[in-house]
Structure 1
Amino acid sequence: MDDRQTKVTVEFLGEQYPIKGDAEAERITRVAVWLNDRMKKIAQSNSRLSSRQIAIMTAMNLADDYLKLEADYRALMEMVKQQAR
């Protein structure tokens, strides 16, 4: 296993951020581009939001998406268990 961390500089809402992680640089960059796109959509919906508010709203939206997917996954797993009986 490779213990080296990848270092990449990414951009969120026009600001540069150095990121270190275990993933490949390409993966980190792809995630950052996707997240920046989500943040831009929220920023465009209300130009009065600060960068911090945009980040919080984006996090809230992502958490909501995650919890919905988690519930869907649990329901699907329950259906699979029911069919296996």
Structure 2
Amino acid sequence: MADEKTQVTVDIFGIEYPIKGDADPEYIREVARYVDSKMRQVSRSGSVGSTIKVAVAAALNLTDELFKERAEKQNLISEMNERVTKLVRMLDKELDEYMKKTASRAERGEIRKANN
């Protein structure tokens, strides 16, 4: 029962497809609706004719979206890494200054004790 796959029938561009997968059936339907909407969008543009050409154009558009999202994600990760690095440097500097002040106070305390 652990390897049990869910089968869902979805309609993409007027054709029904039985889809088996581990994902939630509603998620599979949502993905199929998105693919269908992209194919219909390409079809409405009138620039391609056959279903195969519509599917390829939709696949290219979807891949373009994916690549742009990945690039945006990578940019955000890089920006966050830069911010974290800057914060760590600031904390290190503050900690170093604190340690120097603490050491200086301790030295002054030791000198006072020695003089008394």
Q: CA deviation at 1:47?
A: 6.7
Structure number with higher relative contact order (C-alpha < 8 Å, ≥ 6 residues apart):
1
Cross-structure match for 1:27: 27
| Structure 1, unaligned runs of 5 or more | none
Find the aligned partners of 1:44 and 1:10 in 2 and give their Cα distance.
Answer: 21
Cross-structure match for 1:4: 4
Find the aligned partners of 1:52 and 1:75 in 2 and give their Cα distance.
Answer: 34
| 1:33-72 equivalences in 2 (<5 Å) | 33-46=33-46, 48-72=48-72
Larger Rg: 2
| Structure 2, unaligned runs of 5 or more | 86-116
Q: CA deviation at 1:63?
A: 0.7
Higher helix share: 2
Percent identity for Structure 1 against Structure 2: 35
Provide runs of 4+ in structure 1 moved above 6 Å.
none
Find the aligned partners of 2:62 and 2:2 in 1 and give their Cα distance.
Answer: 30
Query: Normalising by structure 2, what TM-score?
Result: 0.68
Query: Normalising by structure 1, what TM-score?
Result: 0.90
Name the Cα RMSD after superposition. Answer: 1.6
Higher strand share: 1
